[in-house]
Amino acid sequence: MALSASAESSPTVAYRFSFPDAVHHVMQVEATFEHLPPRPLEVQMSRSSPGRYAAFEFASNVFEEKFTDGDKKPLQVSRPDPRSWTVAGHHGTVHVTYRLFGDKVDGTFFAIDTTHAHINFPATVMWAHGLDDSPVRITFALPPGSDWKIATQLYPTTDASTFTAPNLQYLMDSPAELSHFAMSTFQVPAIAAGGKAQTIRVVAHSQATDAEFNDYVAGAHKLVLEEQAVFGELPDYEPGYYTFLADALPWDGGDGMEHRNSTVMTGHKLSLSTVAHEFFHNWNVERIRPEGLEPFNFRDVNMSGEMFIAEGFTQYYGNLAMLRSGITTQPDGMNGFAHDLSYVLDTPGSSYRSAMDMSRLAPFVDGSSDLFPTYWNNDFVSYYIYGEVIALGLDLELRARSNSRITLDDFMRAMWRSYGKPGGPAPGLVGHPYNIADVQKQLAAVSGDPQFAADFVHRYIEGTEKLNYAGLFLKAGFVLRRLSSPASLGDIRLEKSEHGVRVTRSTMIGSPAYEAGLDLDDELISVAGTPIPTPDVLLKALASHQVGDKVELVFLRRGQQVKALATLTTTPGFELIPIESTGGTLTANQKQFRDAWLGSKVKIKAHS
Ligand SMILES: [Zn+2]
């Protein structure tokens, strides 16, 4: 093919991956940067990965790197920082080879063994500064004689081993699974007149039987239709299809990671709740995208105050799609909501920090904090669950205000039409990312009540007030109430220790144990006169006591014996019960509200 003059002068990027050392979890990478301007080339390994918000130094696993020019002559390299290489003296071409170790199967890292290569590009490729808009060519040199195939959202070419990405952002967002996987494809017809049918591929590298895989595909199909119904349409997928990439093996870590036209799902077995959550992301976060995440910065962490929408509203809709499609039963679904409400309402952090504050902590909590102790169990609430509970409350509130005519589905559709659907300047880029003022604007438009929208954002999103969930659930005929449970010192974590049991996590602020002065590292010796040699004895020691009783705690704090009185409370937590199971009557209005909320929205039939 003849190159045009402008293509000849624009830089190009190519990667080639080969697998001679798969047995040792090592991959060979070759990168070629051509048509470079006459100045030193700066290449680096990323510190972050789309959908993951903590910093990871992916350069840690790179070794034996060699830089040469177009004539294979070694080039002079300096190291400005631990993850970067500055390459001087080239004549327009830089060729680099390196080896990469990886053995973590999830949505962020790189993993290779003799059964597969599981490639997340930010963990895998050295990329060059200033070439963000350059097209990228990717070749996978499959092991000779292997039965591996390639599944990815990268653009296919006429050569089955070669793919392209239009730019750096798209490449980094495109995981690839190379293995002997199972694949099934289905078509989703458009709901609206003039819409386009879309193709969905389900790929699984797993030990599932054919029957299990077919059930999984059928479940995924139902969930896709249920979520399509929320938005009224599927996005237009750039390569021509959307791909679920499941890696479900006993040694895999559990994870799900959204991308623009695909998702990586890993874990011990195939999971439909992960499908439900991740597929919703192909609107919410991949295209309806917060300003703080666009474009994604691979040199540092990415912070957004809207993570409670990106992840939390997705969490709500994942659970709702499981309910609406009938994959989750109503009692299980309500137990899930009650569990998540308990966590948010009973964790002290939700009274210190708003959902937006919690969102901004993602770079601190979306990675390992094993290196030093934190106070997260008291001062942090996951923005997934905080946001889910806000979405749940907002949905019920909108329904209650409008006799079920206006719902959170309308809000999501408004966000989609304003910020997602218009698209971006290039594949992989979002042209109209939103901020919280946009959220308020769309909520005002959908509800028809700007005062309601301002008040909701101010009190429940930017502030720490909580909605009247019991009142809202009653509209749908569900009773939200405190668990009736035995007398307790609060949610306390213990392990056996030298003199009794050691407290392994900070006690919960406001709990009886906390008020009595017990905390992290203290060794509890006895409670109400009963020695506590192992954690399970604590429950027995409290069994004969009532809520409100004062009991004596004897414990060791930094070598000193302490005696203190604790006033017992109920174990934290709520339950959510259908009113008809509590001796009450479900009214016609409540039934109508419940059915409109939890009933399927799908009007076309899924093939089975
Ligand atoms: Zn998510």
Instruction: Quickly tell me which residue has 């199971």 as its tokens.
Output: 581
Candidates 80, 139, 232, 229; CA nearest to 602 is 229
How close is the Cα of 382 to the center of ligand 1, in Å? 12
In angstroms, the Cα distances linking 404 to 210, 399, 452, 512, 521 are: 42, 4, 17, 42, 51
User: What's the 1 CA to ligand 1 centre distance in angstroms?
Assistant: 42
CATH number of the domain where residue 168 is located: 2.60.40.3650
Find the 153 Cα to ligand 1 centroid distance in Å: 18
418 and 494 assigned to the same domain: no
The span from the CA of 313 to the CA of 414, in Å, is: 14
pTM of the full structure:
0.96
- How crowded is residue 462: how many other Cβ atoms within 10 Å of its Cβ? 16
Tokens, residue 143: 């092991």
Cα(281) to centroid(ligand 1), Å: 7
Ligand 1 centre to CA of 13 (Å) is 30
Same structural domain, 33 and 150 = yes
- Measured in angstroms, how far is the CA atom of residue 221 from the centroid of ligand 1? 19
Distance from the alpha carbon of residue 406 to the mean position of ligand 1, in angstroms: 25
CA separation for the pair 503, 568 (Å, rounded): 18
CA distance 436 to 292: 11
Domain edge (last residue) among 129, 155, 179:
179
Phi, psi of 31, deg, nearest 5: -125, 135
Q: Does residue 389 fall inside a structural domain?
A: yes
CA of 312 to the centre of ligand 1 (A): 8
User: Rounded to the nearest whole angstrom, what is the distance from the C-alpha of residue 59 to the centroid of ligand 1?
Assistant: 25
Distance 390 CA to ligand 1 centre (A): 16
Q: What was the pLDDT predicted at 606?
A: 47
> 329 CA to middle of ligand 1, Å?
22
Residues 69 and 215 in one domain: no
Amino acid 351: pLDDT: 97
Q: How far is the CA of 43 from the centre of ligand 1 (A)?
A: 30
Ligand 1 centroid to Cα of residue 258, in Å, is 7
Domain that holds residue 504: 487-570
Question: Contact, 209 vs 86, CB < 8 A?
Answer: no
Q: What are the distances in angstroms from CA 571 to CA 83, 146, 285, 483, 512? A: 48, 56, 36, 8, 10
* CA of 532 relative to ligand 1 center, distance in Å: 41
- Among 575, 494, 489, which Cα is nearest to 528's? 489
What is the per-residue pLDDT for 7?
47
- Domain assignment present for residue 27? The answer is yes
3-class secondary structure, 106:
coil
CATH number of residue 227's parent domain: 1.10.390.10
Residues 63, 27 share a domain: yes
CA–centroid distance, 3 to ligand 1, in Å, is: 41
Question: How does pLDDT run across 1-58, given as a tens digit for each residue?
Answer: 444 444 457 999 999 999 999 999 999 999 999 999 999 999 999 999 999 999 999 9
Residue at 575 is within a domain: no
- Tell how far the Cα of 278 is from the centroid of ligand 1, in angstroms: 6
CATH code of the domain containing 513: 2.30.42.10
469 plus 591 within the same structural domain: yes
Residue 27 Cα to ligand 1 midpoint, Å, equals: 29
| Token pair belonging to 548 | 């409100």
CA–CA distance, 230 with 284 (Å, rounded to integer): 12
Give the model's pLDDT for residue 372: 85
Confirm whether 307 is domain-assigned: yes
- Ligand 1 centre from 594 Cα, in Å? 26
Query: Quick check: 464 and 545 in contact, CB under 8 A?
Result: no
* 287 domain-assigned: no
Tokens read off for 593: 């509200």
Segments of the chain scoring below 50 in pLDDT? 1-7, 606-608
Q: 301 alpha carbon to ligand 1 midpoint, in Å?
A: 17
Q: Quote the pLDDT of residue 5.
A: 42
501 CA → ligand 1 middle, Å? 37
In this structure, are 414 and 508 located in the same domain?
Answer: no
Domain boundary among 135, 163, 179: 179
Question: Separation of 16 CA from ligand 1 center, angstroms?
Answer: 30
pLDDT of residue 8: 56
Q: Is residue 289 part of a domain?
A: no
For ligand 1, the distance from its centroid to the CA atom of residue 289, given in whole angstroms, is 13
Which residues, by Cβ under 5 Å, contact ligand 1, an ion? 311
Ligand 1 centroid – CA 14 distance (Å): 31
Residue 290 lies in a domain: no
Query: Do 463 and 367 belong to one domain?
Result: yes
Looking at the structure of the chain, the number of domains it has is 4
* CA 324 – ligand 1 centroid, Å: 19
Same domain, 318 and 467: yes
Q: What is the pLDDT of residue 605?
A: 58
Residues 329 and 454 in one domain: yes
The Cα diameter of the chain in Å comes to 88
Q: What is the whole-number distance in angstroms between the Cα of residue 314 and the centre of ligand 1?
A: 6
Q: How far is the CA of 279 from the centre of ligand 1 (A)?
A: 9
Together in a domain, 376 and 390: yes
Q: Which of residues 282, 313, 335 is at a domain's end?
A: 282
CA of 321 to the centre of ligand 1 (A): 14
Q: How far is the CA of 365 from the centre of ligand 1 (A)?
A: 14
Going from the Cα of 318 to the center of ligand 1, the distance in angstroms, rounded, reads 9
C-alpha span between 364 and 383 (Å, rounded): 12
> Within this chain, do residues 121 and 90 fall inside the same structural domain, yes or no?
yes
- The CA 106 to ligand 1 mean position distance, Å, reads 13
Radius of gyration of the chain (CA): 27
Residues 473 and 538 in one domain: no
Asked if residue 294 belongs to a domain, the reply is no
